[in-house]
Amino acid sequence: MRIKIPSIFKNIYFIIFFLFIIWMLFFDSNSWLIHRELNAKIYKLEKQKDFYNKGIDVDKEELSKIKTDSGLEEYAREKLYMKKEDEEIFIIAFDTLNE
């Protein structure tokens, strides 16, 4: 018994086209696999960019608060635990464990 091969697989143009598609998808330097990896890297970098841009916005907001005298004093008292000479500071730490 002979296996009958369809005539399309005997066509030289089809064979060349098929090999070209395989080459472009997997073996070329601009292959689909490399594009997929690069797109994943782009997505990851865009997420990092958004994260850092949000951080920059928060820092700009804090800087605008610090530029005023009252904002500077508030920042120094709350973040740096500074005080005036005749003041006492009490730091109250709450226990977060509920028993």
Alpha-carbon distance of 25 to 54, in angstroms, equals: 38
Domain boundaries, the chain: 30-84
SS (H, E, C) the chain: CCCCCCHHHHCHHHHHHHHHHHHHHHHCCCCHHHHHHHHHHHHHHHHHHHHHHHHHHHHHHHHHHHCCHHHHHHHHHHHCCCCCCCCCCCCCCCCCCCC
Alpha-carbon distance of 57 to 64, in angstroms, equals: 11
Predicted confidence at residue 75, as pLDDT, reads 87
Q: How far is CA 89 from CA 75, 79, 95, in A?
A: 15, 13, 19
Long-range (24+ apart) CB contacts under 8 A made by 9-18 are none
Question: In this predicted model, what pLDDT tens digit does every residue of 33-91 receive, in sequence order?
Answer: 899 999 999 999 999 999 999 999 999 998 998 998 888 888 888 888 788 888 887 77
Predicted confidence at residue 98, as pLDDT, reads 65
Q: Which residue has the higher pLDDT, 92 or 45?
A: 45
